[in-house]
Chains A and B, each alone.
Chain A
Amino acid sequence: MSILIDEKTLLLVQGITGNEGSFHTQRCIEYGTRVVAGITPGKGGSEVLGVPVFNTVEAAIEKTGANASMIFVPAAFAADAIMEAADAGIPLIVCITEGIPVSDMIVVHNYLKGKQTRLIGPNCPGLISPGKCKVGIMAGGIHLPGNVGVVSRSGTLTYETVAQLTSLGIGQSTCVGIGGDPMPGSTFVDILKLFQEDKDTRAVVLIGEIGGTAEQEAAKFIKEKMTKPVVAFVAGATAPPGRRMGHAGAIISGSSGTAQDKMAALTAAGVTIAPSPAEIGITVKKVLETHS
């Protein structure tokens, strides 16, 4: 099993005709993802990469039964795209777009309240259930099907982690990039809940970074609710305080935002901390051996 996406996922892509949209849609199709529709207002009726293009999400769902959306729409229009997908009743929205204004995301979160839609991202690499389905921009080839769940605020650091796991022969159930924005659609806790419930996930890797309190909230959840082992790394231990490191989320504000505080909270919750980002894979291997 896996979480959120698998062989039954029918994907539509909002912004399929843009450069990045079409490049990565192609990669998803090559990986085996069932891409059933693309959305570009004004280009309905045409075809891209063999995929029919629709003007609206509503029309695409009616014709194709799509049950997930991947969004590549530019930042200025991305909030609108997320709400359009939610309005059409899509259960899973994965927003890759980076640079969406915070005030737009407040509107989006308000709109999503009470709806059944789950949002992953924005500003994220998407997610992959190796061997089954890829909804995102990660290189598919580095993954291996297996039983370790990965959840991360950082895209490329997830790739590093996965490459380490795969080279040690440790496969992944699902890898979820929740994104680097300060108000992600899904939090660590949301994804940890799903991994805890997933029969085929034996252990979880959590990749955090400086800024905010998402790791502390994850630590609280792990302590109270999780029975599966968790390995974590928090990036930015050597970042100078008070500076914003690219991700809007990575601002050290007050003591709870530092890597040291986050690692302490996770350790106290029974999480095994990888001593360096190069040793995440080996740390998982050791943890799996002691828990088998």
Chain B
Amino acid sequence: MKIHEYQAKALLSEFGIPVPKGAVATTPAEAKKIAAELGGKVAIKAQVYAGGRGKAGGIKAANTPEEAEKLAGQILGTRLITHQTTSEGVPVSKVLVEQAINIERELYLSIIVATANRMPVMMASEAGGMDIEEVAKVSPEKILLEYIDQATSFQAFQGRKLAYRMNLNPAQVRPATNLMANLYKLFQAKDCSLAEINPLVITTDGEILALDAKLNFDDNALFRHSNIEQLHDLEQEDPLEVQANELGINNYIKLDGNIGCLVNGAGLAMAVMDLITQAGGNPANFLDIGTVNDVNRVVNAFKIFTTDPNVKAILVNIFGGMARVDIIAKGIVEAHKQIDIHVPLVVRLAGTNVDEGKHILAESGIKFIEATDFYDAARKSVQATKGEVN
């Protein structure tokens, strides 16, 4: 799960990491007021779940409160399109108004879990303010790594190593080391999947502070962080994905094709997408129905398909293991009772309780195209979108 920059900075601050003074505004008038309080010279930053804001015009510098008001008015209420968003962009409903900072150096600092090493790793670089993946590609020697043993936590010597290797001056080493230790404390305490400060700046006064911040959280750990979960801004997410989530379908990703896919298992769901593409079609979504054996979940998946105007055929491919085919079949029948489904339905069933499942579908009288295996299902669903089978 993602949160906004202003929320991330509030958390950094809570963990003792210095951030620029600022506040969030939802109207130009608020932006003006905040700018006046900060002395007039401010940065106006669009609050969206996407990187690349600067190049896309989402960050502007103002010299007076009046200018802040005007610039905030140009950003608020628009949709920002960056290289990380779709062509529709994401809505800007809030801007962060922040004191202008005189920058001497821009550094990079982040923590992620290095899955191959099964431990968190702190990444630091002198090449801050840039896309770190680009830095990794072009000059990997500029990326410094310190692995963090969960049993011993982040140690001061690791901070000193990074600080001296980034050529900080001696007076900056201790504050930098403290900042790194605090970032790890935050990462650990809040079950982050990413804690990134880019850039981490040294000001012309020699101070060190987080000029931008990005925090992502482990979805599987949100159950123990209800205060973090509340920060989730659903406006920033795809509306169909939000609806799917509200209906208890959390493994749904909207894609741009026209075949609604209901599959059990993430790997199989991806393989079905691959097969649809090979058969000349285009999936409307990725959907792993998961292993919760719940008839309503299947009904809700059909609700999502019928809400998506692009869907021209529905493909159900279930190979029951933990998921039981009979329950999926009951869900398909129940969906037809509750919703009007106009598009052709292709069904392929196999695995746990398959005979019961097939029996339920046959008895129901529902019209569907039966497929013998998953390639057959993919092929028939592609044909169905073209009206070639029914």
Q: What is A's interface to B at a CB cutoff of 8 Å?
A: 19-20, 24, 27, 75-76, 96, 98-107, 109-110, 125, 137-139, 142, 152-160, 163, 180, 182-183, 207, 209-210, 212-213, 217, 233, 235-240, 242-250, 254, 276-278
Contact = CB atoms under 8 A, between A and B. Distances in A.
B321 A125 contact: yes
B373 A254 contact: no
A214 to B, nearest CB: 8
B270 interface: yes
4 shortest A-B CB distances, which residue pairs? A154-B267, A246-B266, A156-B265, A278-B375
Secondary structure of the B contact surface, majority rule: mixed
A106 B113 contact: yes
B224 to A, nearest CB: 8
6 contacts: A101-B224, A105-B118, A156-B268, A180-B267, A182-B113, A278-B275
**Most chain B CB neighbours (cut-off 10 Å) among A20, A103, A157, A182:** A103
Contact of A156 (B275, B319, B375): B319
Given A157-B265, A159-B321, 5 more contacts: A100-B220, A103-B221, A106-B118, A154-B267, A209-B270
B340 to A, nearest CB: 29
B286 A246 contact: yes
Contact of B150 (A24, A110, A125, A142): A110
Interface string B248-279: 00010101000000011111111101111110
Interface residues of B, number: 54
B321 A138 contact: yes
Contacts of B57: none
B117 to A, nearest CB: 9
Contact of A277 (B119, B149, B150, B275): B275
Interface in B212-248: 218, 220-221, 223-224
B372 to A, nearest CB: 11
Contact of B266 (A125, A138, A207, A209): A209
A163 B95 CA distance: 55
B77 interface: no
A276 B350 contact: no
Contact of B269 (A182, A213, A245): A245
Contacts of A152: 267
| Max chain B Cβ within 10 angstroms of own Cβ: one of A142, A158, A245 | A245
A160 B274 contact: no
B264 A156 contact: yes
A192 B339 CA distance: 48
A217 to B, nearest CB: 8
A155 B113 contact: no
A103 B374 contact: no
Given A180-B267, A247-B267, A236 B321 contact: no
Given A103-B221, A207-B267, A139 B352 contact: yes
Interface of B: 84, 113, 115-116, 118-120, 133, 136, 149-151, 188, 191, 193, 218, 220-221, 223-224, 251, 253, 255, 263-271, 273-278, 283, 286, 288, 291, 293, 319-322, 350-352, 354, 373-375
A245 B116 contact: no
Given A102-B220, A235-B270, A247-B266, A137 B322 contact: yes
A248 B1 CA distance: 12
Nearest to B323: A156
B322 A239 contact: no
Contacts of B374: 160, 277-278
Contacts of B373: 163, 278
A107 B113 contact: no
A246 B271 CA distance: 13
Nearest to B377: A278
Contacts of B320: 139
A199 to B, nearest CB: 29
A183 B115 contact: yes
Nearest to A244: B253
Nearest to A24: B322
Contacts of B319: 156, 159-160, 163
Contacts of B253: 243-245
B244 to A, nearest CB: 12
Contacts of A125: 321-322
B131 to A, nearest CB: 12
Contacts of B221: 101-104
Contacts of A207: 267
Given A107-B150, A139-B320, A142-B351, A157 B220 contact: no
A155 B269 contact: no
A140 B89 CA distance: 48
A238 B277 contact: yes
Contacts of B191: 101-103
Contacts of A248: 220
Contacts of B271: 154, 157, 160, 233, 235, 277
B328 to A, nearest CB: 12
Contacts of A107: 150
